[in-house]
Amino acid sequence: MLTGLSIRNIVLIEALDLAFDGGLTVLTGETGAGKSILLDALGLALGMRADSGLVRAGTAQASVTASFEPPLPGTALAALLAENEIAQEPGEPLLIRRTLKADGGSRAFLNDQPCSAALLKDVGALLVEIHGQHDERGLLNPRGHMDLLDAYGGMDSGAVRAAHGAWQTAQGRLEAAREALDSAAKERDYLAHAVEELSRFAPEPGEEEALASERAAMQKGARLTEDLATLETLLGGSDGALSGLRQAARRLDRIAPEHDLLAAALASLDRAVIEAAEAEDQLARASEALAADPARLDAIETRLFDLRALARKHQVAPDDLADLSARMATQLARIDAGEAGLAELEDEVAQARAAYEAAAQALSEARRAAAKRLDAAMAGELAPLKLDAARFRTDVEPLPEGQWRASGRDRVEFMISTNPGAPFAPLTKIASGGELSRFILALKVALAAQGAAGTMIFDEIDRGVGGAVAGAIGERLSRLAGGAQVIVVTHSPQVAARGAGHLLIAKSSEGTITRTGVHPLDEAERREEIARMLSGAAVTDEARAQADRLLEGV
């Protein structure tokens, strides 16, 4: 609910601070007093287009601040503020501020936090509905008619949305599988060849390193073969060093007892024979370990070169060839089994579609039933508003399959026929200004609070009517105000008499300076203003008496 409005330097309004209560508040004043300026200022705060022409002449900047009751937790407004990280202190009013410079620049704030004009407009749409003869939003926008009808009929489209989501998810999986199958099928021959080639070669992780190590060892052995052979000749054999050491040891053994030094020499010589024998054994083992088998070396090099060539061909590391072979084999198996998988997905899609169609059909039937109830409610509202020749119809039409959506398979639009026998058409196409305003009011009453923001503003909805019709408009506005804050700009005394609060908009001049002001009226002032509305510039006693009767009759 709008609780306050502060305006600075907007057209003829120099400075204005207003407080608003709930219920029905009426704004009256002579033609040209500036009622539209007040609504333009509020519209600026609610995110409407920033027009530099609104800035009061001679000033550099205009501003409008609107305060609203704090949003209730769990509401769309509270969620929107939280989503955009707009802090809202519990119990504190929601403040909207918009500044506009004379050069056209503007800034917007929510609770003193800068925000975009787009966010401000979204927030404003949840706070206030402004209805007038040229309103192109709200009830006149067919895009919102389905939600209004669903709310009126108490329908929950959650089951349809869930079923639609499941259907679309299944359809997406099927399409992805088809694309993958089509793409893979084009490579089937390549995959089959590659899998056969890799399976025949049978690469193993770590094989490259093992082959390279063995190859390096054999190449080293080939280089050392001659040296090892020479060493074996020098050390072993009948003429080798070890044989000579043994012969010397045998000869020394015969004479060692003759002297201690000879015995010591024999001991050293025995150790040398043992060490030389060990060296001979190690050389033999080394020769065996480093033996270079030309056939084996050739086989190793062939395998190693083929392994690396295969890795380059498939653009992977040699150690990854085994994993690549497994992946390709799996992919090939999927291609071969692809048709069976597609059949399962197609069955899943068919089941999900059937579930959606069943839920959408039930929702369509509920909508058609609610449409009949709404049409009957509207029929009861039109006659008192001098629209008794008009007819209202809620069209619930099936959409072609390509347009089925999460909200169902229907197109919903409010239609009217203004004269007997005239075809039905959208409200905005065939209703005149006065008729359109009354249709809006009738719809708001018939729909009660469905889709309504906390504050509804009606701009001269009673233009061109009077008497009983104006009285009926006032009664319906008062009824609406029982469930929401209603503010109405009116020229009708019958409507003004229904207000719980009354604001008078007046223009004053001081020399060359003209200002617009707004004055809350007490009971006596209300009586005088309604009498003026009844009689014109010269207020008569009869007009005052009639004003009393209007005030007493509400």
Tens digits of residue pLDDT in 35-52: 778 888 898 999 888 888
The pLDDT score that the predictor gives to residue 99 is 93
End-to-end alpha carbon distance in the chain: 24
Per residue in 244-261, pLDDT (tens digit) is: 788 787 888 888 888 888
CA 520 to chain centroid: 45
Q: What count of Cα atoms within 13 Å lies in the side-chain half-sphere of residue 436?
A: 21
* 202, 321 contact by CB (below 8 A): no
- Structural domain boundaries of the chain? 188-336
Residues 6+ apart with CB under 8 A from 27: 35, 38, 487, 488, 489, 490, 503, 504, 505, 518
* 414, 427 contact by CB (below 8 A): yes
Q: How many helices (H) and strands (E) does the chain have?
A: 18, 15
What is the residue-wise DSSP string for 15-61? Answer: EEEEE--SSEEEEE--TTSSHHHHHHHHHHHTT----GGGBPTT-SE
Q: Which residue has the tokens 């975009």?
A: 116
Alpha helical stretches, state H, 46-157: 76-83, 117-127, 145-153
The pLDDT score that the predictor gives to residue 383 is 83
* 108, 116 contact by CB (below 8 A): yes
Higher pLDDT, 82 or 266: 82
| Residue 134 banded pLDDT, cuts 50, 70, 90 | very low
For the chain, give the longest Cα–Cα distance.
169
Residues 6+ apart with CB under 8 A from 491: 28, 31, 460, 462, 463, 533
Per residue in 195-248, pLDDT (tens digit) is: 888 889 888 888 888 888 878 877 776 666 666 666 777 777 677 777 778 878
* 46, 138 contact by CB (below 8 A): no
| Residue 83 banded pLDDT, cuts 50, 70, 90 | very high
Per residue in 177-190, pLDDT (tens digit) is: 888 777 766 777 78
The pLDDT score that the predictor gives to residue 433 is 62
Q: Which residue has the tokens 């001659």?
A: 226
- Amino acid at site 390: A
pTM: 0.63
What is the residue-wise DSSP string for 184-232? Answer: HHTTHHHHHHHHHHHHHH---TTHHHHHHHHHHHHHHHHHHHHHHHHHH
Alpha carbons 132 and 49: distance in angstroms, whole number: 17
Give the closest residue to 462 by CA, choosing from 486, 490, 487, 440: 490
